[in-house]
Structure 1
Amino acid sequence: MDLNIITIIIAVVALVAGIIAGKFIFAQDTRKRIDEADLQAQSLIKEAQLKADTYKKERELEAKERFVHLKSEHEKEVMERNRKVLEGENRIKQKELTLNQKTEHLERQIKENDAIKQNLNRQIEVVNTRQAELEKHQEEHTRRLEKISGLTAEEAKSQLVESLKQEAHSQALGLQQEIIDEAKQKANKEARKIIIQSIQRTASEQAIENAITVFNLESDEIKGQIIGREGRNIRAIEAATGVDLIVDDTPEAIVLSCFDPLRREIARLSLQRLVSDGRIHPARIEEVVEKTRRQLEEQVMEIGERTVIELGIHGLHKELIRIVGKMRFRSSYGQNLLMHSREVANLCAVMASELGLNPKLAKRAGLLHDIGKVPDEETELSHALLGAKLAEKYGENPAIVNAIGAHHDEMEMQYVISPIVQACDSISGARPGARREIMQQYLQRIKELENLAQAYNGVEKAYAIQAGRELRVIVEADKVSDQDSEKLSFEIAQKIQTEMTYPGQIKVTVIREKRAVNVAR
């Protein structure tokens, strides 16, 4: 029993000792852990302090750098503003200097102008004084003349004007008498022309006779001179006149073919002068053709003046007289236009006299009723409306203007002479053999053929020759090249083929000639 108690006591003591020893060990272990924790905490605090110091230094450095950057930018802005201020001050100084110079210059000019003005005033005073003296001398001279002549100045002027009127009247009467005498002297010649033209109206070959002219030669040797070396002379004549020269086996003759009588006449007269002169070369040909054209224009004016004198028409505008003269070289449906107009004028005068109207006014309207058929420029207006426009332009009576525009019912008839002109025009054109429709259609086709070619850029002249079987187009060398010439020939041929109606075929020849001209002085 005692042993068990001792054992139990020993066990209890051992247990207590173990518990005490365990507590001691646990306390040591806890103290050790606390120490380690303190060490760790101190190391973490130190590390945090180091990081905080480092971050603080970095922020301070960044702040310093930003401050330095802002300071430099501010300094730059300040310097730029200072520079602009300096430039502005320099400009202001320069402007002030310029203004000062201008002010000084203006002041000098003002002073000079004042001096000039004073000088002019003095001169004006001198001029006024001399003018007054001259007026006094003139009045005194006039009084002396009036005293010597016994007439006042107004009476002397009246006598002088009256003497000039009488002299002018006498000269006008003399000139009128000379014109009448000249007209009487040429009456037989004009009568022969009228007879020949009347015969031609009834000829069977009307179109051929109106389209060709035969030029007679003294010998066939002249044909070679007219043709020239390699045909240069005949080409120059055709290019200058627009007339086709046909040189064939016909002895001592050359045929001039062209639908325009005015061109044929120019070519005939030019050939006549060239053959008489003997000098036939391109330069001479152009000179003679130009001279002939001018002389023919004068001849046209003479024909117009002779026509109006023979018909007793007075006060006609010169341009209308020229148009009347051009009618001599035009035809209407194969009928000579001037002869037709003269015939209509005479018929109108007879009919107006029978009706108790003004025969002179009717004759004037009859002569001018077809002036629209010979315009200087092509227009889309009909010949009646164009003629009325021309008559109105050159100051004709409104009754004449209306008669011209209404003779084909294209205007309303407002005067009595209008139906008279229309009736007389129909009478003249309806005579047997007076007109041929075929000839007019042929001329219209030829004109359309030439106008078609002239519508292209760079085309200087276009001539339909050989009765419309060939179209010769002369282009400007500065505007059209050799390649363009070939292209132009093809385009014209295609356009003729698509837009026109014609028998057979038409040959299109484009001629481009380059000339180099210099003058030795």
Structure 2
Amino acid sequence: MNFDYIIGGFLGVIVGILLTYIATKRHFVRLEEALRSRFDVEAREARLAQKEEQSELELNYRNKELDLTRAIATREDELKIRARELEREGERQSEQQAQVDLKFKELAREQRLLGDAEHEAEKIRRLYRLKLHQITQMERDEARQLLMKSTERECEQEIRELRQSLLGRAEADVASEARRILLAAMQRITSQPMNDATATVVNLPSEEMKGRIIGREGRNIRTFEHATGTTLMIDETPDSVLISCFDPVRREIARIALEALLRDGRIHPSSIEDEVVRAEEEMRANVIDLGEGALRKLRLHDVHPEVVALLGKLHYRLSNNQNTLAHSVEVANLCALIASEIGLDPMIAKRAGLFHDIGKAVDEDYEGSHATVGAEIIKQYGEDARVVNAAAAHHQEVSAESAYAGLVMVADSLSAVRPGARASSIDGFIQRVRSIEDIAAAQAGVSEAYAVQAGREVRVIVEPEIVNDEEARQLARTIRQRIEEQLNYPGTVEITVIREQRFSETAV
């Protein structure tokens, strides 16, 4: 019995060990399967992460490739444009060289003719000296003095005519070349006609809106006028409100705010202040867009944001009913075209033309004329010294330091006087005509002066006993210079000096 008990216990131990082994083995198998499953999941996640990273790298690569392709295309376009500009510059240089060669040939021919004339004159002088010595037996110095006086008397008229001919030919050549360059530049400019300036008027949906704009005891209109710095004229026209202000930017802000209030329908002091703030923000964004639009049109870069904002403000300022921003863009294009014709840097000329009136966009905080103030502003923001001087000197308030200042003066005048650019009042026209006549009549020897053809021509009658032909010619130049210095006028003024003598007798 004890043996059986021992054997049974031994078998029980063995069975327990076997069961424990089997249970342990199963546990390890399950653990191994769990680890293998987790490893598989991690491996799949790693593969997915690798694929995502690879896709992202490929996408970045394609984006960079597209950016580089666009940059290369842009650079190629710039290089093509530069190549065309260089080609045109080479053609212009060739034409100028040909003109210079032709001038040298003409000069050489004139020198040969002059040498021949001097040789003939020397021969004639020797012959005269010999004859005088033979005839009068004068001393050498006496004969020389007599011969010189005689020659001066004989050649005085010829010398005067030659001088007038040479001066007239030089002036004609210069005027012809200047006219050719200006016409070539002006014909390439597409100009917009002048639009009549009108007051800022806001239409009302109904007449009863006027009462809502005024508000109880005038609170609304006072709040609006105080917030915008403008004046509302309510009873001037039916179903509309007139906004009055000297500052066109404030007037535009008031218009935007008032139209927004009319659309909303709720008009009270707090809503008015909110709409004015929103209108000011919209106006700031608008002037920046206008300035950037002008820069895009002219293909200019590297302009300070403050200067861009000032350019946009020029859109709301008028000079004799001419939009100042449009005028500045037109002057910039004219400067660039004329600079290309005469061999100057067109980009510098374009910047000078665009910024020449930027001082008109600043307020009363800046003291000085718009030319000097604008020059100081663009100088502060790092503009080229030639551009700064051209802006400061375009009204001759400071001395011109480069040819770009003269370019801006010419282009500014062309843009201002082209047909349809500006409007003038009848009072200004009459004053200009009287000023032209007064300048002509103030000269010595002038008996009468009349401005004709709407001030395009002045006819000056002189006293023939006081003024000779040469003095009459000089008088025309003097009157031209005085008119150019003292008056501002559209187009040109022709000066005609009339010197006439009449003699009459009556036979009976």
TM bin, normalised by shorter chain, reads: 0.3 to 0.5
Larger radius of gyration: 1
- The one of the two structures with greater contact order (alpha-carbon pairs below 8 A, sep at least 6) is 1
